[in-house]
Amino acid sequence: MNMRRVDIKHLNELINQMKEKRESLDEIIRPFLNENNNRKQNVELCQVGKLLTLLDGTLSILDRRESPDFIICYNGETIGLEHEEIVDRNLVKSVRSIEKLFQDAADVFAKKYPKNKILANIWIKDVKFKNEKRNAEKIQNEIADYIYLYLSNPQTDKPYFIDDVLIMKYSGVSFIYNSGGHVVQSLDNEKLMGAISKKERLLNSYRLNSKIERQWLLLMIGRPTPDSFEFYNGKLPVNIYSNFERIYLLEDMAEILYRIK
């Protein structure tokens, strides 16, 4: 059999690069991580942290706030930064509803089984699974109890809606909804320009609220969920008119950054 030789030196270089990137991200976001943050706030914080690690220069987060979402420091200059995720509005409600269901189930698990610290990726079956509010508490307990039993017996009977789980050690408790295989949509210019226009209308309020003239916009795509988008063709729109000083488009999971203004 023709075996391909592993370049150990190159592999070690990649591992070191990943470690350095994680350390850089941690240094940027750690002052703003606290137990009062909800998951959405932590996701936004990580995404802004990724932006700053991908830019050249001396960068840091000065403040986490509203309108604009962040105040950052770039090479000694103070700048307002607004964050916006571009999603498919036809799918976002159902996807986020299931995500929240599993987040709430993790909270139930943490209270019922406080000695267990885990991260569980959970796949659901390809059925019309509805997170009905009247059944939410029952379903959350069902998920939490199943995961607890799974830890000692992976052959435990699954709830009807769960397809598979993957459990790892973790510093806390987190249940992640994994949507499995799905068709990832390509971001088109219409959706991109619509997201920019939406924030453009609020630009003056960002300046007034922050008392900062310089404002950047960060647009996010590329989450591993059916309501997100990817940037396939690599062709950026030209002649974008905007009063934002800079506009960035970041593919979250791939960590690919485009400056589009």
% pLDDT > 90, the chain: 36
Position 254 pLDDT exceeds 70? yes
Mean of per-residue pLDDT scores for the chain: 82
Where would I find the H helices in the chain? 8-29, 39-54, 92-112, 136-152, 189-200, 203-210
pLDDT value at position 131? 57
Q: What is the tens place of the pLDDT at every residue in 193-209?
A: 889 999 999 999 999 99
Q: What is the tens place of the pLDDT at every residue in 162-218?
A: 888 888 887 788 888 776 555 567 777 888 888 999 999 999 999 999 999 999 999
pLDDT value at position 182? 53
pLDDT value at position 90? 66
pLDDT value at position 234? 58
Please report the DSSP string for 188-238 in residue order: PHHHHHHHHHHHHTTHHHHHHHHT-S-EEEEEEE--SSTT-EE--S----S
Give CA separation, 43 vs 39, 50, 78, 168, 190, in Å.
6, 11, 23, 20, 25
Cis peptide before 237 (omega within 30 of 0): no
pLDDT value at position 40? 77
Domains of the chain, residue spans: 38-86+187-259, 92-178
Query: What fold characterizes domain 38-86+187-259?
Result: Trna Endonuclease; Chain: A, domain 1 (3.40.1350)
Q: Predicted confidence band at 61 (pLDDT cuts at 50, 70, 90)? A: very high
Note if the pTM is more than 0.85.
Answer: no
- Please give the residue that has the higher pLDDT: either 40 or 74: 74
pLDDT value at position 13? 54
Are 250 and 219 in contact by the 8 Å Cβ rule? The answer is: yes
- Please give the residue that has the higher pLDDT: either 238 or 125: 125
Q: Predicted confidence band at 116 (pLDDT cuts at 50, 70, 90)? A: very high
- Per-residue pLDDT, averaged over 61-85, amounts to 95
Residue among 227, 5, 220, 221 nearest 96 (CA): 227
pLDDT value at position 1? 42
Considering only 50-54, 185-189, 199-203, 256-260, which range has the smallest mean pLDDT? 185-189
pLDDT value at position 180? 58
Position 70 pLDDT exceeds 80? yes
Position 68 pLDDT exceeds 70? yes
